[in-house]
Structure 1
Amino acid sequence: MIENVAILKNITILYAEDEAALREITLNILKGFTKKQLVAENGAQGLELFKEHESEIDIIITDVNMPIMNGLEMIREIKKINPNIPIIVATAFSNTEYLLEAIDIGVDKYVLKPIDMKKLLQLMSQSLLYHELKDLYVDNLTHLPNRNKLKKDLEITEQGLMAMINIDKFSTINDLFGETNGDKVLIEFADSLRKFFNKEDFRIYRIEADKFLVVANEFNTDVQDLYELCKSFENYIEEDPVYIDEHEIDLNITIGIAKSENANAYKYAQRVVSYARRKFEPILIYDDSFNIQESFEENIKWIKKIKNGVKNDNFRGYFQPIVNTQTKEVYKYEALIRYIEDDGTVVSPFQFLDIAKKAKLYPNIIKIMINEAFNLIIKKAKRVAVNISFEDIASDNTMSYIYSVIEENKEHAHLLEFEILESEEISDFSEVFKFIEKVKSYGCNVGVDDFGAGYSNFNMLVNLKISYVKIDGSLIKNIDSSENQKIIVKTITEFAKRFGFATVAEFVSSEEIYNQIKEIGVDYCQGYYFDAPLSFDQIN
């Protein structure tokens, strides 16, 4: 029984042997134990095969005496490329003098001819200690060096010029075509990288599922030259779809380029590719003027402040009046979150809300807002609207908390309203329907917020059984000078009246805008023309 033979089933071997009969016999046996076999009839062929398939070859078996280039000459050249590749030499007893030379050039295992196949397979299994180590540094799917190898390589020098390449929304490809096809896309993508960025000038790594890194071998390579090469690659990828079986798959990529003399290139490349995605730029070169470092430090600061603020009661609800357009009398208030610094400074949600959402801290804030809203409802008998997102509605934890608070205060719940943030993120309308039904059973009104901001679904307004729609401020703030915006607002208002729900205009900041809104017939107004958001104590 051969020990550890199962370990051979996933390996690729390079086998060089000039004697046809022996080659055929040995190869047929190896096919039964190994995944893939690359076969050469002489050392020159073997060297070329190694150069072509270096990233996937796990072990080499070679004869010594071969024409054109013998086995030892081939080994010398291969060791220059990869000094760690395991090599087994097959030699006749009469040629054992070659063994000293073989040992000298780094061959530590040999098998005598005629080959004892049991012995050969045992030697191959032993040699795969290297294969196990290689797995630590090589991505199994693409056969590119992985993140571990990158970290090791970055320790060698502080200087670096690199481009991080991110496949946009790769998870969508897995969702649409399946992970098997997704893997094939990644293999094709890695092959395209190899073609564009030759190994004489660049090293390529796969560092995450959909993220690759191209590192220049020469630090003095011009950044602009790398940019132009990346631009050509981006054009190639985005103009030519990947074909997997019968599927045509379009890819988009984002590239961040960075250069640094003090070990910061990788960090900068990570940051600039994220920055480029936020700016919808396909390629960006890192520049200190982006203030990316300061941005990250600000994020870290606010994550800590949000966590501590939830514990220490730094968050407060502020309430902006929403008035009847015809009478200008306050009808209700929209609850808006504020962070109160220890010195009393009031901080706008612009500073922290997006960070809270990305850091998965927002559920804490929506819970605070529900409590703040009921505080105003109960103590001052005011009608209050609270914003709620689809993510909130889809969260069992968040909804369980909201329903429990409403149940505890159900005699006041008729004064609580919810404004669903209108967004293409709504992926399951059944959840939204259930939410509306549930809160309406307590007497709560439900509206749609930010309607008309880029993504607008009139069908959603009809089917959700809402009470009102709030027209996005981007359509309101210039309505006194933009005829197009006026037409859009008028269309939304007429649509709402036809289907029986009210309209609210936000960002009403001047008398001119107010007059336009009144003329169109919008039911309610909100904005600094009437009042800024007020603290609890400022509301009578």
Structure 2
Amino acid sequence: MSTIRQSPPNQPLTLLYLESDATARTAAKTLFLSRFETLYTAENVEQAHLLYEEHRLEIDVIVTELSFPHASGIDLIRWVREQNTFVTIVALCARGDTAFIPQALELNVDGFLFKPFTQEQLFSTLDHLLEKIYLRYENTQNALLLKQYIDITNASSIISKTDPNGFITFVNDKFCQITGYRPDELLGQQHNIIRHPDMPKSAFKDLWATIKAKKTWQGVVKNRAKNGDPYYVKTTVQPILNANGEIEEFISLRHDITAIMSDKKQLFDYLSANALSVLILIQIEDYTVLEKFYDKGSVEKIEQTFGKTLLYLMPNPWGFQRIYHLENGLYAFAIDRRSCRADKEEIHAVLEQFLANVKEHVVKIDTIEYDISVICSYTYGIFKVFEDAKIGIEQAIATKQPIVYADGLSGIEYDNALKNIETIHTIKTAIDTGNILSYFQPIVDNHTRKITKYESLVRLVNEGGQLLTPYFFLEVAKKGRYYSKITKIVLDNSFAALLKIPDAAISINLSLHDIEREEIIRHIFQLLDRYPEQTSRIVFELLESEDIRDIAHIQRFIQNVKQRGVKIAIDDFGTGYSNFERMLSYEPDILKIDGSLIRNIDTNEVNRNIVETIVLFAQKQRLETVAEFVENEAIYRIVTDLGVDYSQGYHFGRPELF
């Protein structure tokens, strides 16, 4: 029999950490102690065995490597699972451990951390697992309490008796209090007088089949009081047999658990109990806008009122019997796949009709009417059904699709995660081996055709010797701690290049998010102090972004570097997030016209007119202009004739090492 640690939620927890690398153990200690009160560490499987044997009643979580010189973390996991199926286990995976992952999944490992991992990734994984541990402890504690209530019939129990035909013969005071009925209104009635319409008929079929077979039935039941209010009870129905073994009556003992039953818990219980399910998630579109526009009370009323109408708005050929209200404008329909054998095209058609119904429906609260629009995600299967559907909702929001078929999306996310892990390894290796490089592309004066500037462009050489452009690694780097390291390397390379080209300036790309990072700002000013004679030959190219948090901070940075002689350019001007008013607040010296406007300017009159307008604007503001993607002589002549000051592109040179 497994021993379960009975720690109540939010109480101190204990971790067993198995890591062969002494440096990693030391580095992780502080991080783990921010989440656990007690930490036991082991450097090999044998030590972990001994520690677990000694502290098995204390240990809540085990974090272990999968690969060791003389033993396998899988062996430890298998041994622990034989002792205790409930302890939470996290597997640390190195790059070469992918062969162990299927075995770890078979042993029901609760989570994975892929080396190298960031502090944010560690805490995200741990917090997710700790939430599950607390929920399990809470549910275990509730089950123990409910068992005691079943064993004794006291004032806290809701009790009723029925005859073999299901007619009520007795109710206690608690039963009357929670239902709102008087005894005389209940006696002689059947229990469907308090049945809630959300409860599926199949649940009561199972109940009657069980007790008619002279067995005890237990479960959670949603009932409806006389005034219409719902309530949840944990119910035990016990057949009472006479001396001949015949059913004399049924006694039901209940405990009110309404306060701890959320729709999300109930949905997860349903999906667990029905291995093959159809799940449809419905999300109120632009819910965050709704929250900003209305107060919290109004939003809750809108959600509740809208939720009550969903069963009527959803075409229901399969017999959905309830709606689950999750959180933040998210709702769910779930049904056993055996009751819904429709293919995805049929489900999609039903959801299209549902969306049409929602579009015509108005949510009315008091005298105010609200128009609500929704997006949908649906899936069916036996593995990660909710995870698939939730990712489907995220995809629907990102792509503005009204309906997304989500089957297998969580697997795709997992595959992407593995690819990102490989990319992160490539980035780390390149940083460690000095293979983050700066290539420089010339920028020429359109009047003299002489090189006056170079743009610094980052490149990465992988372990196979391939030269990679930022397209292959920079977005992944932005999600972790290596992005700032890359930025600092590029800054170092670019400032050092000034000494190799005494007659030209160096243009360095900076995103506005870079400027929001204190460590990057500090590094920039250290370099400006180290190269005081060269600062007038530095240009920072700023790439606009939609989600800048602190424009005043950006403006202060620009003012400070300009006081040292640095020039400011706005990159990719004329497309994306470029904003004339905000751009002028940055007081730039140069506008770099986006390459998408230049690339086909010799054949696209609209682009030519746009570039001409930008040049006129820049000239009135006394700003220099640079045309990117100048690929041939024809384009060069056009941009020169339009008054563009500088050109950059393959016509004058590809990016090269100095």
TM-score normalized by structure 1?
0.70
Q: Do the aligned partners of 1:240 and 1:250 also contact (CA within 8 Å) in 2?
A: yes
Indicate how the Cα distance of structure 1 residues 101 and 464 shifts in structure 2: closer, same or farther if over 3 A, else same.
same
The 1-side partners of 2:549 and 2:369 are apart by 25
Per-residue CA deviation, residues 281-323 of structure 1 (Å, 9 max, x unaligned), is 3323258899946544323322343344444433222222222
The 1-side partners of 2:443 and 2:310 are apart by 56
Counterpart residue number, 2:546: 424
Counterpart residue number, 1:523: 645
The 2-side partners of 1:210 and 1:430 are apart by 34
Per-residue CA deviation, residues 351-406 of structure 1 (Å, 9 max, x unaligned), is 22222234465333322221221121234444222222222222333323333333
Q: Do the aligned partners of 2:378 and 2:406 also contact (CA within 8 Å) in 1?
A: yes
Indicate how the Cα distance of structure 1 residues 86 and 150 shifts in structure 2: closer, same or farther if over 3 A, else same.
closer
Unaligned runs of 5+ in 1: 5-12, 16-22, 56-75, 90-98, 110-126
The residue correspondences of 1:397-476 to structure 2 (distance < 5 A) are 397-476=519-598
The 2-side partners of 1:38 and 1:529 are apart by 85
- The alignment status of 1:377 with 2:498, answered yes or no, reads yes
The 2-side partners of 1:387 and 1:467 are apart by 15
Q: Secondary structure at the match of 1:378?
A: coil
The 1-side partners of 2:483 and 2:457 are apart by 13
> Match of 2:233, as an amino acid?
I
The 2-side partners of 1:208 and 1:426 are apart by 28
Q: What percent of counterpart residues are identical? A: 28
- The alignment status of 1:85 with 2:233, answered yes or no, reads yes
- The alignment status of 1:321 with 2:442, answered yes or no, reads yes
Moved more, 423-432 or 506-515: 423-432
Moved more, 438-447 or 160-169: 160-169
> Match of 1:393, as an amino acid?
I
Indicate how the Cα distance of structure 1 residues 292 and 53 shifts in structure 2: closer, same or farther if over 3 A, else same.
closer
The 2-side partners of 1:244 and 1:419 are apart by 52
Counterpart residue number, 2:63: none
Indicate how the Cα distance of structure 1 residues 308 and 482 shifts in structure 2: closer, same or farther if over 3 A, else same.
same
> Match of 2:562, as an amino acid?
K
Q: Secondary structure at the match of 1:478?
A: coil
Q: Do the aligned partners of 1:161 and 1:223 also contact (CA within 8 Å) in 2?
A: no
Per-residue CA deviation, residues 140-185 of structure 1 (Å, 9 max, x unaligned), is xxx44467547744xx52x444344455554454445455555455
The residue correspondences of 1:195-214 to structure 2 (distance < 5 A) are 195=312, 196=314, 200-201=319-320, 209=328, 211-214=330-333
Indicate how the Cα distance of structure 1 residues 506 and 174 shifts in structure 2: closer, same or farther if over 3 A, else same.
same
The 2-side partners of 1:352 and 1:243 are apart by 50
The residue correspondences of 1:106-505 to structure 2 (distance < 5 A) are 107-108=252-253, 127=255, 130=257, 135=260, 138-139=261-262, 143-145=263-265, 149=269, 152-153=272-273, 157=275, 159-167=276-284, 170-177=287-294, 179-188=296-305, 190-195=307-312, 196=314, 200-201=319-320, 209=328, 211-218=330-337, 220-235=341-356, 253-260=374-381, 263=383, 265-286=385-406, 292=412, 294-359=415-480, 361-381=482-502, 382-505=504-627
Moved more, 208-217 or 374-383: 208-217
Per-residue CA deviation, residues 404-440 of structure 1 (Å, 9 max, x unaligned), is 3333333322222111112332354312211110111
Indicate how the Cα distance of structure 1 residues 131 and 264 shifts in structure 2: closer, same or farther if over 3 A, else same.
closer
Count, aligned residues: 456
Q: Secondary structure at the match of 1:108?
A: strand
The 2-side partners of 1:276 and 1:456 are apart by 26
The 2-side partners of 1:239 and 1:318 are apart by 58
The 1-side partners of 2:515 and 2:580 are apart by 20
Q: Do the aligned partners of 2:437 and 2:458 also contact (CA within 8 Å) in 1?
A: yes
The 2-side partners of 1:377 and 1:347 are apart by 24
Per-residue CA deviation, residues 21-55 of structure 1 (Å, 9 max, x unaligned), is xx9x999x96xxx9xx7658548797465414769
Indicate how the Cα distance of structure 1 residues 525 and 249 shifts in structure 2: closer, same or farther if over 3 A, else same.
farther
The 1-side partners of 2:492 and 2:360 are apart by 52
User: Shift of the alpha carbon at 1:210?
Assistant: 5.7
User: Shift of the alpha carbon at 1:495?
Assistant: 0.3
Moved more, 394-403 or 497-506: 394-403
User: Shift of the alpha carbon at 1:488?
Assistant: 0.8
Within the candidate set 249, 260, 263, 1:101 is matched to: 249
For CA contacts below 8 A with separation 6 or more, give which structure has more relative contact order. Answer: 1
The 1-side partners of 2:394 and 2:467 are apart by 30
Indicate how the Cα distance of structure 1 residues 267 and 54 shifts in structure 2: closer, same or farther if over 3 A, else same.
closer
The 2-side partners of 1:463 and 1:231 are apart by 47
User: Shift of the alpha carbon at 1:101?
Assistant: 3.0
The 2-side partners of 1:520 and 1:203 are apart by 66
The 2-side partners of 1:296 and 1:202 are apart by 37
> Match of 1:416, as an amino acid?
I
Q: Secondary structure at the match of 1:85?
A: strand
Indicate how the Cα distance of structure 1 residues 48 and 383 shifts in structure 2: closer, same or farther if over 3 A, else same.
farther
Q: Do the aligned partners of 2:378 and 2:407 also contact (CA within 8 Å) in 1?
A: no
Q: Do the aligned partners of 2:315 and 2:354 also contact (CA within 8 Å) in 1?
A: no
Unaligned runs of 5+ in 2: 1-144, 146-157, 161-170, 201-215, 224-231, 238-246
Q: Secondary structure at the match of 1:525?
A: strand
Indicate how the Cα distance of structure 1 residues 283 and 320 shifts in structure 2: closer, same or farther if over 3 A, else same.
farther
Indicate how the Cα distance of structure 1 residues 487 and 274 shifts in structure 2: closer, same or farther if over 3 A, else same.
same
The 1-side partners of 2:393 and 2:221 are apart by 32
- The alignment status of 1:512 with 2:634, answered yes or no, reads yes
Indicate how the Cα distance of structure 1 residues 193 and 240 shifts in structure 2: closer, same or farther if over 3 A, else same.
closer
> Match of 2:560, as an amino acid?
K
Q: Secondary structure at the match of 2:419?
A: helix
Q: Secondary structure at the match of 2:454?
A: strand
User: Shift of the alpha carbon at 1:484?
Assistant: 0.9
Q: Secondary structure at the match of 1:514?
A: helix
Q: Do the aligned partners of 2:454 and 2:507 also contact (CA within 8 Å) in 1?
A: yes
The 2-side partners of 1:245 and 1:307 are apart by 59
> Match of 1:376, as an amino acid?
A
Q: Do the aligned partners of 1:462 and 1:499 also contact (CA within 8 Å) in 2?
A: no
